[in-house]
Amino acid sequence: VTVEMKSSKVAIVRMNRPPVNALSKDLMHGLRRTICDLEDNDVKGIVLTSSSKVFCAGLDLAELLNPTQEFVSSFWKELQGLWITLYSSRLVTVAAVNGAAPAAGCMLALSCDYRMMSSKNVIGMNETKFGLFPPPWFVELMADTVGRRKAEMLLLQGTLLSTEDALACGMIDQIVE
Ligand SMILES: CCCCC/C=C\C/C=C\C=C\CC(=O)SCCNC(=O)CCNC(=O)[C@H](O)C(C)(C)COP(=O)(O)OP(=O)(O)OC[C@H]1O[C@@H](n2cnc3c(N)ncnc32)[C@H](O)[C@@H]1OP(=O)(O)O
């Protein structure tokens, strides 16, 4: 995770884990630590973005291949901790979604106060496409953002929306070129 101060009050927080910013336990820990440190340093707002062409590919599936029970438990704790920290942060949080944002990548964006996204990208929770259903707090984030019925349809079908469709249903707030 890298931090660039745009002024004394606003920080650009970039996920920097090539190639796709898959959320490993370490990346989630780094993001949470960074947000907490900025909160402690009188910063007012952050822009969460990526230093590569993918915003965030969701959970690191490689790390979740044959994990120990202990690892799964600590991974899960880190994921919940990151979500709680970002969602409940006192900072004004803006997601600058500058690449694909599937699954937990979408969760990160929806946990922010405002979402801008570049065109020709995709965002959504596609978990059902690989036989899983998103955790309840992902579901609530989606329902709070686009409405319960729309969320139900998107989640059941594991839809990844284009930038334009995401704007149309309120999943994002602005398209930025
Ligand atoms: C703690 C226990 C948890 C258990 C879970 C149980 C319950 C919860 C239920 C579900 C929760 C799920 C949340 C998730 O986030 S799951 C992750 C879902 N993510 C995806 O489906 C995205 C998959 N990736 C893509 O679609 C594309 O890679 C992407 C559009 C992001 C980028 O495309 P691009 O063409 O640029 O790059 P690729 O060539 O496809 O990939 C490059 C490289 O990166 C690897 N990779 C991609 N995504 C992941 C990933 N999520 N985790 C790990 N690695 C990933 C890909 O394999 C390539 O590797 P290599 O071939 O170059 O070695």
User: Is 169's C-beta closer than 6 angstroms to any atom of ligand 1?
Assistant: no
Give the residue whose CA is nearest to atom 16 of ligand 1.
59
First-to-final CA distance of the chain? 24
For residue 129, the ligand 1 atom closest to its alpha carbon is 21
pLDDT at 116: 98
pLDDT at 177: 84
User: Is 129's C-beta closer than 6 angstroms to any atom of ligand 1?
Assistant: no
Instruction: Determine the 3-state secondary structure of 7 from DSSP.
Output: coil
Specify burial of residue 2 (Cβ count, 10 A radius: 0-12, 13-18, 19+): exposed
Structure tokens of 11? Answer: 């920080």
- pTM listed for this prediction: 0.96
Residue 109: count other Cβ atoms within 10 Å of its Cβ. 28
Domains of the chain: 2-175 (3.90.226.10)
pLDDT at 82: 97
- Global ipTM: 0.95
Give the residue whose CA is nearest to atom 11 of ligand 1.
134
For residue 126, the ligand 1 atom closest to its alpha carbon is 21
Q: What are phi and psi of 90, to 5 degrees?
A: -75, -15
**Tens-binned pLDDT, residue by residue, of the chain (177 aa):** 999 999 989 999 999 999 999 999 999 999 999 999 999 998 999 999 999 999 999 999 999 999 999 999 999 999 999 999 999 999 999 999 999 999 999 999 999 999 999 999 999 999 999 999 899 999 999 999 999 999 999 999 999 999 999 999 999 999 998
pLDDT at 162: 98
